[in-house]
Amino acid sequence: MADTLATHLAGIKHIIIVLSGKGGVGKSSIATQLALCLVQGGNKVGILDIDLTGPSIPHMLGLDGKQVHQASSGWVPVFADENKNLCCMSIGFLLQSKNDSVVWRGPKKNAMIRQFLADVCWGELDYLIIDTPPGTSDEHISIAEYLKDIHPDGAVIVTTPQTVALADVRKELNFCKKVKLPILGVVENMSGYVCPHCEECTNLFSTGGGEAMAQEFGVEFLGRVPIDPSLTLMIEKSNDDNATLENGMVYYFTCHEVDPPALIYMGKDENENEELIKYGWEEDVCRFKKS
């Protein structure tokens, strides 16, 4: 099975898994922004949504109601932009209605995740971003097991500043260590609120918890991402019944220069020798920044 997956995913240069032990911290929004920013930097990117009971990626990308097509070589993912630089796979595309519930036990979830990896025609990608459900359950164990011989680049851990979230995210960091999944770093999401009128960022909760936790575990702190109402507005415009391409978040990120420059992941050098995985955020800025 490992050889089959390795062959099927051979065209993907980098695999990044977005994780958190806590629900509602914004994993899907971070995964979406990361993917869009990488596309904006000239990369071909795929997003795999393995949150089987609560898929959010189709809505984030304005793809509600889209369907996956079957080809002779497997499932063709849904493309989010005209240039086909961003593709997506989610169980949300396989349900008759977005309100349908998925009531599955572990073995069926495991089989579905493997099918997403083995039967989707991902093609040549610079990055595959994997969005996950909260916790350390079947989905997380399955994705770590299926990818262990493919050696994903690692996990981006998402938290919010509150103590209750940090407690659960610590469990996710320990999970990564147990399954030998590299940790690329920690993002503190919802760290402050950007006023839609004056654009001043105000702290609504405590701050600094994500950075302290990263130091505690000896991993990189990638930065803080504030709550920005304009992001929510773009998502809602993308899914409005009268939506046009120019209204949506995908169009904004892929057709406009994002300031500051939106790219955090550098990868390896051309000889695949020296690790050049570096990260950085401008302080209290909500966009990924190239180091």
CB 152, CB 15: distance < 8 Å: yes
Whether 42 has a binding-site annotation, put simply, is no
Supply 283's token pair: 């302080």
Q: CB neighbours of 71 closer than 8 A, spacing ≥ 6?
A: 121
Whether 28 has a binding-site annotation, put simply, is yes
d(Cα 12, Cα 124) in Å, to the nearest integer? Answer: 6
Whether 135 has a binding-site annotation, put simply, is no
Residue with tokens 């960022």: 201
Whether 21 has a binding-site annotation, put simply, is yes
Compute CA 187 distance to the chain's CA centroid, rounded to the nearest angstrom: 12
Whether 22 has a binding-site annotation, put simply, is yes
d(Cα 182, Cα 148) in Å, to the nearest integer? Answer: 11
DSSP secondary structure of 206-271: --SHHHHHHHHHT--EEEEEEE-HHHHHHHHHHHSTT--GGGSHHHHHHHS--SS-------B-TT
Whether 46 has a binding-site annotation, put simply, is no
Annotated binding site: 21-28, 195, 198
| Residue list, annotated binding site for ATP | 21-28
Q: Which segments are annotated as binding site for [4Fe-4S] cluster?
A: 195, 198
